[in-house]
A and B are shown apart, each in its own frame.
Chain A
Amino acid sequence: MREILVEHLARVEGHGNIRVVVDKENVREVKMEILEGPRFIEKILVGRSIDEAPDIVARICSICPDPHSVACVNAIEKAIGFRPSEQTRVLRELQLISDVISSHALHLFLLALPDFLGYPDAISMVSKYGKEVALGLKVKKAGNVIKEVLTGRSVHGCTVKPGGYTRVPTQEELEKLEKSLAEAMDGARLAVDLFASFDLPEIFREENMFMAVDPGEVYGFSGEHILISNGERRPVENYRLLTNERVVPHSTAKHSYYQGESFMVGALARILLNRGKLKGEAVELADRIWEKLDPKNPLANNLAQALELVYSVERAIELIEWLLDHGIGEPRGEMKIKAGMGVAAVEAPRGILYHFYEVDGEGKIARADIVTPTAQNAANIEKYLRISAQRLLERGVDNLEPHLEMLVRAYDPCISCSAHLVRVVRLNE
């Protein structure tokens, strides 16, 4: 019996370990341990005004503050019965896309690519792959400058409020964004070429289940229903059923199962479930690389992210043009406060993010519940760790660690997110 411990799980957000216990021939135990400390975010929200809520939830995670703040205001508005303007809805879609662009670019070029090229980090790649790193940083920046313009900064923006924004971009700012996005297209295309050129190890292949938000007619990152790869379509209000959680003692993240099975959320799930809603260059690219987007292999999530990068850059330009055509109106609508409850789902770069709030008659948060994508993926990550560790043992591979790390990294986990929002922990069941 021996224990394999990947203790320094690097190039992912947050602090986690992979622990695998094996005897001579078999994997006995697999754990993805989440080592983040508890932050009690849901408790901090209680008693705070609905205006403070988006600022607080943004602080859950620095890589996805935008999905958190957008899901938050969407859910609060549902709770109080407010319908945001079309301009606000377009700005929020643009904000979600900005996070997809910067997060995917960070993950693909800075966190995942070093695995495939055999480097410890992107900085060390510069001497040989300077062009790739430079183009990747350009894409990443294009996402971040949208965040800076819309929300004030690339981490924990300050303008997102129930009712709309506290400031809306000027025409000049929007035109600048369009330019930086146009310049990011080459980098986005390069991501597709690079990740389509890598062969994915067979050891990770297995049947899987997927879930993604149904964005409606056009591929996007928010919606009112969840699509499941078994053909079901459910309203987001069913989120508790969809993320039926079991909590495991080794992790501060709850594990999600649906009908007894683990499932995967994220770019691969979105592309597989919403391919027909893509537009522009991404349609041809999807046709060209389709057989590489193997539903059985979670490592295909990298390529799915690359495809989404191309789509997102184009879609962001389209949304900016919509704003320029329609002219910029009032930043924020007038709201009437009333007590109520609301659920919203958005797609964070790494998968579905649910926010639920109960608001009281004074406009304060009475109850909050948040289910993050990495918490949903945790059980699926362990399923694939177990299968691949077993196969590696059978093939006589001794050094399992790099393979297992690469697998976990493909899910682009956000461990801060998953850890801080465990709600029900039952150790003794």
Chain B
Amino acid sequence: MKPKVGFYELTGCAGEMLHILNMEDILIDVFSKIDLVEFRIASSVKRPERVDIAFVEGSVTTEENLEALKSIREKSDVLVAIGDCAVWGGIQASTTGEDWKTLMKEVYGVEENYFRFLGEHKSLSECVKVDYELPGCPIEQDEFVRLFIELLEGIEPKIKDYPVCVECKIREIPCLIVEKREPCLGPISVGGCKARCPYYGTPCIGCRGPVREEANVAGEISTLVEKGWRKEDIVKRMELFAKRYKDIEKLVEVKK
């Protein structure tokens, strides 16, 4: 019997779902392996039954999101958070700490909470037990496929926790911090993207979130500071994708 799999969206841009649909060469093969229970952007199928695996993207932003997430958790054996919104709350969570009524007034012209907004944008793990997290804005297609196969085959997935710098060095990309004095977040951002942005000539913006083990942080962070970037600017850049990570400041403190 094929495993039952559901794909669910909370608040975000549907980027994870679309990046999965963008795997044109293997799309049909991937979906032939499963019994699809829900995937709103691509299918009218919606079945309320239990699922073996739930992939959930988006932040928990509204009461409706929270209710949906709780009900997904209840009916899923394995729940996977996919993408930066689900793992860290997404760029919308960079407003964490600001008064939401003021934001509402400034952006929408009203203070009434008719969105049923929770007041902040939470990651999934702040609300329910999450079994695995796949970071990125968007997720990497190859990482998704690997995790998908591992879950289907019952292999315990390995979680990456080394900085983007490692992949930059493997690809022999000249260091943007050293060579160009660019504010690259590679030293403190978790790898897995094959250093895409540096390869394309632009500094890492931290879209995969922070490296969690301080010991794994790359020494280039001190070069960044030596090159004249202020710690608060580095922190502000990192906060765009991971403000809900409590220890960003600590990451920047690491010297060697």
For A12, A37, A110, A141, the residue with the greatest tally of chain B CB atoms inside 10 Å of its CB is A37
Task: Using CB atoms, name the residue of chain A closest to B36.
Answer: A123
Q: What residues of B have a CB within 8 angstroms of the CB of A395 in the complex?
A: none
Query: With A62-B17, A110-B21 given, can you name 19 additional A-B contacts, CB distance below 8 Å?
Result: A8-B44, A8-B46, A11-B40, A39-B92, A44-B91, A48-B240, A52-B240, A121-B36, A121-B43, A140-B22, A154-B18, A155-B15, A155-B18, A155-B19, A158-B196, A158-B197, A161-B202, A247-B109, A424-B109
Q: What residues of B have a CB within 8 angstroms of the CB of A13 in the complex?
A: 14, 18, 41
Q: Which of A53-61, A196-204, A336-344 contacts B (4 or more CB under 8 A)?
A: A53-61
Let me know if B205 and A55 touch, CB within 8 A. yes
Let me know if A11 and B41 touch, CB within 8 A. yes
How far apart are A47's CB and chain B's nearest CB, in angstroms?
9
Let me know if A133 and B107 touch, CB within 8 A. no
Known: A40-B92, A167-B201. A10 touches B44 (CB 8 A): yes
- Interface of B (DSSP majority class): mixed
Q: Which of B69-77, B112-120, B143-151, B152-160 contacts A (4 or more CB under 8 A)?
A: B112-120
Let me know if A10 and B196 touch, CB within 8 A. no
Q: Mark B93-128, 1 if CB is under 8 A from A, else 0.
A: 011000000011011111010110100010000000
Say whether A38 faces chain B, with CB atoms less than 8 Å apart: yes
Say whether A19 faces chain B, with CB atoms less than 8 Å apart: no
Q: What residues of A have a CB within 8 angstroms of the CB of B1 in the complex?
A: none
How far apart are A352's CB and chain B's nearest CB, in angstroms?
20
Q: Mark B23-51, 1 if CB is under 8 A from A, else 0.
A: 01101100110001001111111100000
Q: What residues of B have a CB within 8 angstroms of the CB of A41 in the complex?
A: 91-92
How far apart are B209's CB and chain A's nearest CB, in angstroms?
14
Q: What residues of B have a CB within 8 angstroms of the CB of A153 in the complex?
A: 138, 196
Say whether A295 faces chain B, with CB atoms less than 8 Å apart: no
The number of inter-chain residue pairs (CB within 8 angstroms) is 180
Q: What residues of B have a CB within 8 angstroms of the CB of A140 in the complex?
A: 22, 24
Residue ranges of B at the interface with A (Cβ–Cβ < 8 Å) = 9-15, 17-19, 21-22, 24-25, 27-28, 31-32, 36, 39-46, 59, 61-62, 64-65, 90-92, 94-95, 103-104, 106-110, 112, 114-115, 117, 121, 137-138, 196-197, 199-202, 205, 207, 237, 240
A133 to B29, CA, bound (A): 13
How far apart are B21's CB and chain A's nearest CB, in angstroms?
7
Let me know if A426 and B109 touch, CB within 8 A. yes
Q: What residues of B have a CB within 8 angstroms of the CB of A42 in the complex?
A: 107
For A12, A41, A52, A55, the residue with the greatest tally of chain B CB atoms inside 10 Å of its CB is A55
Task: Using CB atoms, name the residue of chain B closest to A62.
Answer: B15
Query: Can you report 7 residue pairs joining A to B where beta carbons are below 8 Å apart?
Result: A38-B104, A44-B92, A44-B240, A56-B240, A59-B13, A121-B42, A155-B19
Let me know if B41 and A12 touch, CB within 8 A. yes
A123 to B40, CA, bound (A): 13
Q: What residues of B have a CB within 8 angstroms of the CB of A141 in the complex?
A: 24-25
The residue that B11 contacts in the complex, of A11, A12, A36, with Cβ under 8 A, is A36
Let me know if B109 and A416 touch, CB within 8 A. no
Q: What residues of A have a CB within 8 angstroms of the CB of B19 in the complex?
A: 62, 154-155
Let me know if A38 and B61 touch, CB within 8 A. yes
Q: What residues of A have a CB within 8 angstroms of the CB of B42 in the complex?
A: 11, 110-111, 121-123
How far apart are B229's CB and chain A's nearest CB, in angstroms?
13
